[in-house]
Amino acid sequence: MTGRTVRMILLRHGHVASHQGDLPLTDEGRHRAERAGVGLRRAGTDLVAMFAGPALRARETADAFAAGFTSVGPSARVVSSRVSPALRNPDLWLAGERVEMVSTAAAFCDQVRGLTECECLEVPFFAGFLSAPDRIAWWLHCKHPPGDDAAGVAARVAAFAVSLLDAPGRFPPVVVGVTHSPVLRAIALEFLREDPGEPDYLTGYSVLATEGGAVSVEVSSGLG
């Protein structure tokens, strides 16, 4: 054991016009993701691996970030770019289907064939979620959500970060992961013992994983 470490810069995806459906980034979202990539390169990093959650907005953010990063001189390289389910939104289950966190009963019903809005609102978790002023906070502090809880999501991401050290030389010391607001807030709650509320786009945390399984988390500095 050499005490190797890997730092995963975990960021929220770029700006989208709406969270109703898996929409692409706006032009603003793409440009800001590119600037963030430029910012990381100018901070002195020349090799990165890129990971993104499966959602379109996460994948497009990773592509734009990589384009910005590699635009700053020939020595800047993205050595690996892939989709990772570890960075997906929390798994929630409704009437036997996995559903994304959305803002209306109708939007939940769109994900579950044959479910009515009344039936959705009869489920206590979803009734509370939809009426909460901060829906992500409702999920974060729910003791028994119908699916992933905050601790489980944070543990999933931590285990993923540690796994990047399994094969020496496979990944560079710095990787970038693109994920979603609930994931970032779960990490903050579990590792920093606070929920700072909804993160801005392209902001997040630095997750430092060490051989042996130790993981620490810090607020990530701005990248541009």
- Beta-bridged to residue 208, according to DSSP, are 7, 216
Task: Tell me the whole-structure pTM to 2 decimals.
Answer: 0.95
Phi/psi for 118 (5° steps) reads: -60, -40
Q: What is the pLDDT of residue 132?
A: 97
Contact in structure between 175 and 7 (CB atoms under 8 Å)? yes
pLDDT, tens only, 105-142: 999 999 999 999 999 999 999 999 999 999 999 999 99
pLDDT, tens only, 163-204: 999 998 999 999 999 999 999 999 999 999 999 999 999 999
Q: How far is CA 36 from CA 71, 130, 140, 199, 212, in A?
A: 12, 33, 28, 15, 31
Same domain, 28 and 11: yes
Same domain, 186 and 166: yes
Helix axes 27-42, 56-70, angle to 10 degrees: 40
Note down the domain range covering 158.
5-90+148-219
Query: Is pLDDT above 50 for 84?
Result: yes
Query: Could you give the number of structural domains in the chain?
Result: 2
Same domain, 14 and 117: no
Whether 130 maps to a domain, the answer reads: yes
Nearest 5°: the CA angle 175, 89, 222 is 45
Radius of gyration (C-alpha) of the chain in whole angstroms: 18
Whether 224 maps to a domain, the answer reads: no
Same domain, 187 and 154: yes
Both structure tokens of 30: 């793409």
Q: What is the pLDDT of residue 145?
A: 98
Same domain, 134 and 159: no
Question: Which has more confidence, 222 or 85?
Answer: 85
Q: What is the pLDDT of residue 19?
A: 78
Q: What is the pLDDT of residue 36?
A: 97
Q: What is the pLDDT of residue 22?
A: 84
Number of neighbouring beta carbons within 10 Å of residue 222: 11
Whether 207 maps to a domain, the answer reads: yes
Q: Distance (Å, rounded) from C-alpha 111 to C-alpha 99? A: 6
